Structure 1
């Protein structure tokens, strides 16, 4: 979704950035009322490590321990106008779907499909057709519809008693921060950029104030709201500060948010899904209209993500009465090191 593949350019001259939100909104539910029933092994979650929207689903899947029942296909960090591709896999084909391009799964669903080919996407393995690419609903359904298959000790990421407030917080995080960085980066005029920049940092100031006295966005434990904010913060200094001109401050210069981001990053299920080299390669190569040279920056040094954050003093615990997820599933490990520039140590 980061950056769907519906066209060659991302900036509309003279205009504010408008995200295409026309998704396939089918849902996979416990009762299968909409035609898609939760079943172990039936679906494949297709993601890209680079994409913040797909990163949400990789985190939630891992926190809930759904790896044994929901397989994951991983696209490479770059794509062309047609589609995300499985160029990281042997022979350049997804080993389960036997596709070279994610586009093929969309065309299997609708031979005339003409919208963006986006990640994350849930694909029905028997038919090899996309079920949904509605990124916001996918993670909520993993929390609420797949409960039969959650691991012992899995966190409740969408607590019923917090949902009204959570929905408001997540909506503001989405419009002002998750999408706000894109409004800055893809602004087609100075006026559009200035407006987007102001909105973004107004929201970051609000978040700093909210998190000054509470460990997580909704209180003492991690929820879906933290997942959604984290995937943008993880990319802020590596990409958004420079590439998208979100440059009032770096994340490392916002004391509360930087400590919060490190706290979450160091929690199992979060930092172990972040691949800084792939993130940088995606943005700086794919967005050729705002980085025509396709030169990828060496920095920043990402070792500082592993430094002490001190947020334990606020109390709380990431999983409440639950437990952290176990080791990363075989074959899904991040091979990039956290060294100067986040350069992979392979």
Structure 2
């Protein structure tokens, strides 16, 4: 029963029939309980309902407790009878066992003799079977060796196969050794010889092919080694040539750099010489311009009246020292004469006018002082 839920239990009254007088009052009480509480609804959600439920449980338990006591009381006479019967049963068993022991005492020697003989016969049979099994197993092992020898030597060398083949050929199948398995042993031996011969031929061919392959591999390795050496030498030669090319290119570059520096030096010197020549040319041009102006002036004086010429004589005298200087400059730079230099006739005329001599005398003077 639960305190938070209503439990409805329906008890169906039943009638029990028994010939045990001690239980009849209890049957009446049980019928009363079944009749009274058949449609009882137990509500424990309230304190009053819980108290009523406890009273009902006490009423039911009283009947159950009384039933337990009656059961114990009613069993007492029957339990004593059971004990007496069990004692008799034990007595019968003990007497029967005693009689059995007397019979076994008579039977035991005969039974032991029979069992000993049976054991001896069984042991002898087992020994014969063991010996026979060992004999058959030994023969089977020999036949199995013949059957499995080819598989065992499948990957062995030709020499090993030849050795075992000779051993198998030398083996003899004796009737007293193989008995009823003589034919089977002979067949297994012949098959083993045939398989080993085939295996030997295959091994010889395989080893010849392997030797040939090994020789080819060795030759290939030698070729590879030669190729490696050649490649190494070629690489070394390439490095040497590359180094030589690098040195040669460096030398050429150094020579080009030196040539470039020499050319730059020459160009600089040429520029300096050219500038010097231009400077000298400018000086010559300036001197030529002055000489032309002086020549024009002298010509003008020469064509002027005598009085003017006499008056201009001091000026000409002052120019006498200038004219030789111009002549020396022209003589010193004779190799550098350009189209802008004064002509020889102009120079002779200037000298003649400056010193008041004729042209032939001035020309003779100039020849005398020419380098």
TM bin, normalised by shorter chain, reads under 0.3
Task: Provide the TM-score with structure 1 as the length reference.
Answer: 0.17
Q: TM-score, normalised by structure 2?
A: 0.16
Greater helix share, 1 or 2? 2
Larger relative contact order (CA 8 Å, sep ≥ 6): 1
